[in-house]
Homo-oligomer: A and B are copies of this chain.
């Protein structure tokens, strides 16, 4: 599939695809004889992964590291364990904080039973 189709299939901005290729997150795709990019299902999967991880708050640098696990044969098991450990730790903390936020929003909704809008303790939800 071509670039426009990939953008549609993934919900991505079409220029973002070129950007991610430029910075190396996406591999250079095959080309038609006339130079049009041709993307595979694997490319689509990878772009969806990248886009979703960005939404989940992973930085480009973090993505490089994670995708390194996918792409490279150069890592030792020690590398893999270290990278995995760090990321799972971060993920656990993210999950915990997201749960706190959700709980606070749920509570606020439950208290919203009439015209009186309750105070919103969202800011306190993440304060330790």
B115 close to A56 (CB less than 8 A): no
Chain B residues whose CB sits within 8 angstroms of the CB of A122 once the complex forms:
49, 66-67, 69-70
Sample (30) of A-B pairs whose CB atoms are under 8 Å apart: A45-B123, A45-B127, A46-B123, A49-B125, A49-B126, A49-B127, A56-B56, A57-B57, A57-B58, A66-B122, A69-B120, A73-B117, A75-B117, A76-B115, A76-B117, A77-B113, A77-B114, A77-B115, A77-B116, A80-B109, A80-B112, A81-B112, A84-B105, A84-B112, A91-B98, A91-B101, A91-B102, A95-B95, A95-B99, A95-B102
With the chains together, A56 CA to B94 CA distance in Å?
A: 6
Q: Check B126 against A48 for contact (C-beta < 8 Å).
A: yes
Interface size on A, residues (CB 8 A): 52
Q: Mark A residues whose CB is within 8 Å of B.
A: 42, 45-46, 48-49, 52-58, 66-67, 69-70, 73, 75-77, 80-81, 84-85, 87-88, 91-92, 94-95, 97-99, 101-102, 105-106, 108-109, 112-117, 120, 122-127
